[in-house]
Chains A and B, each alone.
Chain A
Amino acid sequence: MTSEPVLRPSAEQQYAGELAALAAVDDRPRPPSWRLSPQAVVRYVLGGTLSDGTEIVPKYVGDRRIVEVAVATLATDRALLLVGVPGTAKSWLSEHLAAAISGDSTLIVQGTAGTSEESVRYGWNYARLIAEGPSEAALVPGPVLRAMRTGAVARVEELTRMPAEVQDSLITVLSEKALPVPELNLHVQAVPGFTVIGTANDRDRGVNQMSSALARRFNTVVLPPPASEDDEVEIVSTRAAQLGRALELPAAPPALDEVRRVVRVFRELRNGSTVDGRTQLKKPSGSLSTAEAISVVTSGMSLAAHFGDGNIGADELAAGLLGAVVKDRVSDTAAWQEYLEAVVKERPEWRDLYRACHDLDTSGYA
């Protein structure tokens, strides 16, 4: 099957080879409807080398226990809730889990303030409804209903952004594993393998907090920010290289030193103190997540490819850094300038970065 190139292939398209190789060597028992055994799913997420020599790329860098708890939860047909601050790879992990387990990560509900019950469960083809009256043919199944019928994993992104009553429509689905369609006097029962992965943002808790009735039906796994600087550097450099390939950027993969610098800037500002703990810093208002660090590096790569010599350096990173840190013009600019003067300037090997950022400051924001 050949298809048009797409901007961002889904996980099961991008890693089709890995999934096939894993399935081929996988001899452990698989839960009903699962494409892989739980052990193979863990290996797909964490990476490794298969017995036939296939290299599996690590998708999630972090505590193995977290992934194991997540996979074990899904294997017991419980719903899984991934919680964390923005940019801790919640959606990323949810996509890869769905891809590995059901081979389909596209049964997705994006939670927003405007998400309605129809987009979670089912809607109607109104032309047909009016012409023929209520019938199964006029029913437009939502992602959850489709997942129930095929025994697949449905994903609900940003669960706590949805209005409370829409969230609660999931309760029956999760506890009864069934969805009534009263208009057709129909009772859709889920095929084994059906489950839900929800993601929720720590900072959104106050927006539409989950009812305890719903929360009880999820096993909760908290995804922490990367534990160490080395972990974060690895995440940023591999992801930036992958994205660069996907975007067909001609630039060379970023030098590890540059990535390390970006990660250090992010970590120091996020923690409010320098790595050596000697200098106290103002914390900017943004979340400064790993995801944003990745985007700083990729935009730097793109700048280097199209306007520079193809090698990423301080000049390419400066603009991206400034944009990532300064979300609030007044307070964040102060935090950033303080950081420049107190930390960046003091590090001799960071002189180029200081100059690049300083030039930018005078012309742009300050």
Chain B
Amino acid sequence: MPALPERVSLLGIRHHGPGSARMVLAALETLRPELVLVEGPPEADGLVEHVGELVPPVALLMHDEAEPSTAAFWPFARFSPEWQAMCWAHHNGVPLRFADLPAAATLGAEDEPDPVSVDPLGVLAEAAGFDDPERWWEDVVEHSGAGDPLALATAVTEAMTALREEFEDHVGPRTLRREAQMRQVIRQGLKEVTGPIAVVCGAWHAPALRELPTVSADNALLRGLPRKKVSGTWVPWSHGRLAAAGGYGAGIAAPGWYAHLWERAEAGDAVPRWFARACQVLRAEDLPASTASAVEAVRLADALAALRGRPSPGLAEVSEAALAVLCGGEDTPLRLVHQQLVIGEELGEVGAGVPRSPLAADLERLQRRLRLPASATERQLRLDLRKDTDRERSKLLRRLRVLDVQWGEPDSTRGLGTFAEAWRVRWDPSMAVAVAAAARHGTTVAAATELVLHQRAGSVEKVAKAADVLWYAVGCELPAAVTAARRALDRCAAAATDAVELLSALPSLAGTVRYGSVRGTDPELLRLALHGLLARGAVGLPLACRGVDDETAEHLVTALDAAQEAAGLAADEEHKSLWRNALLKLVGLDEAHGLPAGRATRLLWEAGDLDTDRVAARLHRAVSTAGGATMFVTGFLRGSAALLAADPRLFDLIDGWLTGLSAEAFADAVPLLRKAVSDFSAAERRTLGERVATGGGGISAGDGAWDEPRAQRLSAHVRGLLEGAGR
């Protein structure tokens, strides 16, 4: 087999290894090649020209144009050898090309991975008794390499050749195909330039590139690869993502530490500066970390390195010294240092000139305008919807959620009322995939959101789903989408035959009606929709409660409660009375299931639409009909232990009914009652028992005597409060 021509230099590297990055940089300076080839997807060749506009960590995002959510990332940190090669080529005006399988062939393809994935330099380092491959590289390779990067690269290739022979059965067909493609790119390069060529590739592949087999042999390997139209761009990346092993992560254990080493290598103060930064991290958390301790930590790290026969302290030594000196042997503060320094939260930047989808550009414009930068650290946001900027921010976050870009998470743990919203905002670089996927829906965030909501409104079949779409549309403040969602709601409601389905959609709709005015949608339109649903549900309710099983009855009770709340919140008087009549009808219906009937009785009694005598009569009737009686009492008392203990009216009602029972009727009622209160917690039952033991009384509503001046003072105060809140 013909050997590789002399003018091609193979620079075998460890991906994301700062030691390799230094070697590559030095080698390129010595070689002054006319062409640089770097392991990576060839479709990205056109993106190399933007290197000058990027601040690492950044990643190449390549996605399938037909199916943009099928995407892959090639992340680069400042200390990545590939990145350094790109920077060198950029600054020296040397063409750079990527050499690897096209992304079209790898995207979404479930290619069989190598039987065992091998970190080749890791294996060599382990064989030499090192725990960190970077340490081994630094200690053994760089310190003995005596400054000749090319000799070093040759030595690495030789070591890898030996390793490849040993692990030959670990090389899968995918790796062989990748290497065939790399050789094709080298052949192409040899035709194009007459000067030296530098190839930056994973050390593992270097041995396979030392010889060039026939073109036809490589072609045979590459035959039948899938073809796709692939487009790509640069996206900001983060150290946290580099560290993550799964998903789109690169699995680098300590990106923050490597970046620190890369930055401080020139100045030579890596270790002292590291401890100074660790002290700052600890102090920021109010943990004791004095400068004197930092001095001692540096001394201990040096002593440890000397003890282990290493030329300078590495990550293991500085971590152990930090644990013993700065953290008092405790893991918790060390984890803090690990999170903030060893991994780090640095987020890269991509300049304005880099091509991106119109949607991504729009998003960036909005982020700038709303002063809402994408940040990798979580931030709490409190938005006052009466202010224009805050309302715009809320709108943006909501629209992005519709587009499946989960940048903001509504924080529902704090209720802030109608005019305020709480959000937790954190940008994860992999959200770039969702942005790319959303780009097919439209050129701006607003247009894309509108289209997505339109599509959803067109395809919903359930009333509740349609109400949800309406809720999103109102939140996103997209009038056209609101109209479409309303139409969808009407359509679903007309087709719905199930009262439960109609009634369950009400709470979401009631919320929308309440907040609609803040969101610039006419609340009357929404109220109209709500009334339609309520009317349809009210008509169907009594019939829906007939002849149902217990499970359905449970759903009915939930729907009843929800509808009652919604009606009270958002319906007008006419529809409230419609609803009331439906409940009355249900109560009067003997064949109705006991659970909803009991619940309805209770709701009406609470609202004052059913007087106490009639409730007592209804209770009596329930007990006389053995079947649904338990259910009726359960439905009536459900979830009201506290109320029963505190409200003398309810207590007296139950008490009066119980004591009025005849001996036989009481005997019949006891098991029912016992079952009804078994839903209550032990503490609630105890309170109730105490209440019974003390014999009535409790909190009374007063005897009707009225202290006029006192009431005046109180109402004046309350009015003041309300006016203050309205301003």
Contact = CB atoms under 8 A, between A and B. Distances in A.
Interface stretch (B209-217, B291-299, B700-708, B717-725): B291-299
Interface in B287-335: 288, 290, 292-293, 296, 299-300, 302-304, 306-309, 316, 320-321, 323-325, 327-330
Given A78-B299, A78-B300, A65 B324 contact: no
B320 A39 contact: no
A198 interface: no
Given A76-B300, A83-B329, A222-B329, A68 B290 contact: no
Interface string B244-284: 00000000000000000000000000000000000000000
Nearest to A77: B299
Interface residues of B, number: 24
A78 B327 CA distance: 15
B272 to A, nearest CB: 15
Contacts of A220: 323-325, 327-330
Interface string A80-108: 01010000000000000000000000000
B307 A42 contact: yes
Given A75-B303, A76-B296, A65 B320 contact: yes
Nearest to A210: B328
Given A73-B324, A219-B324, A68 B304 contact: yes
Nearest to B298: A76
B324 A71 contact: no
A71 B296 CA distance: 14
Nearest to B309: A39
A366 interface: no
Nearest to A73: B300
Interface string A209-229: 000100110011110000000
A89 B316 CA distance: 24
A75 B307 contact: yes
Contact of B290 (A42, A72, A216): A216
Given A216-B288, A216-B293, A219-B324, A72 B303 contact: yes
B21 to A, nearest CB: 28
A216 B316 CA distance: 22
A69 interface: yes
A72 B300 contact: yes
B324 A212 contact: no
A355 B290 CA distance: 60
B304 A69 contact: yes
Nearest to B319: A65
Contact of A215 (B302, B303, B320, B328): B328
B153 to A, nearest CB: 33
A220 B316 CA distance: 16
A265 to B, nearest CB: 29
A284 interface: no
Contacts of B302: 76
A38 interface: yes
A221 B329 contact: yes
Interface in B212-227: none
A83 B331 CA distance: 13
Nearest to B293: A216
A220 B328 CA distance: 5
Interface in A188-242: 212, 215-216, 219-222
A220 to B, nearest CB: 3
Contacts of B308: 68
A65 B327 CA distance: 16
Nearest to A64: B308
Given A65-B316, A78-B300, A219-B325, A39 B307 contact: yes
A156 B616 CA distance: 80
A38 B293 contact: no
B296 A69 contact: no
Given A65-B316, A212-B288, A219 B296 contact: yes
Given A78-B300, A216-B292, A216-B293, A68 B325 contact: no
Contacts of A72: 300, 303-304, 306-307
Contacts of A215: 328
B296 to A, nearest CB: 6
A39 B325 CA distance: 21
Looking at B290, B302, B306, B330, the one whose CB has the most chain A CB atoms below 10 A away is B306
A212 B309 CA distance: 33
Interface string A43-86: 00000000000000000000001001101110110100101000
A72 B305 CA distance: 9
A68 B328 contact: no
A212 B290 CA distance: 12
A38 B300 CA distance: 13
Looking at A69, A73, A81, A220, the one whose CB has the most chain B CB atoms below 10 A away is A69
Contacts of A39: 307, 309
A102 B290 CA distance: 31
Contacts of B321: 69
A212 B293 CA distance: 12
A259 B720 CA distance: 80
A76 B299 contact: yes
Nearest to B302: A76
Contacts of B320: 65, 68-69
Contacts of A42: 307
Looking at B306, B316, B329, the one whose CB has the most chain A CB atoms below 10 A away is B329
Contacts of B329: 81, 83, 220-222
A218 to B, nearest CB: 8
Contacts of B303: 38, 72-73, 75-76
B303 to A, nearest CB: 4
Looking at A65, A76, A215, the one whose CB has the most chain B CB atoms below 10 A away is A76
Interface string A135-155: 000000000000000000000
Given A216-B292, A219-B300, A38 B324 contact: no
Nearest to A216: B293
Nearest to B331: A222
A212 B289 CA distance: 11
Contacts of A71: 307
A221 B324 contact: yes
A68 B307 contact: yes
Looking at A72, A216, A220, A222, the one whose CB has the most chain B CB atoms below 10 A away is A72
A104 to B, nearest CB: 22
Contacts of A65: 316, 320
A78 B309 CA distance: 20
Interface in A92-132: none
A69 B304 CA distance: 6
A78 B323 CA distance: 15
Contact of B296 (A75, A78, A212): A78
A39 B307 CA distance: 6
Given A71-B307, A76-B302, 13 more contacts: A38-B303, A65-B320, A68-B320, A69-B324, A72-B306, A73-B324, A76-B296, A76-B299, A76-B300, A216-B288, A216-B292, A219-B325, A220-B329
Return the 8 tightest CB-CB contacts between A and B, nearest first. A220-B329, A72-B303, A222-B329, A219-B324, A72-B304, A76-B299, A220-B328, A76-B303
Interface of B: 288, 290, 292-293, 296, 299-300, 302-304, 306-309, 316, 320-321, 323-325, 327-330
22 contacts: A38-B306, A38-B307, A42-B307, A65-B316, A68-B308, A69-B300, A69-B304, A69-B323, A69-B324, A72-B304, A72-B306, A73-B324, A76-B299, A76-B303, A78-B299, A81-B329, A216-B288, A219-B296, A219-B325, A220-B330, A221-B329, A222-B329
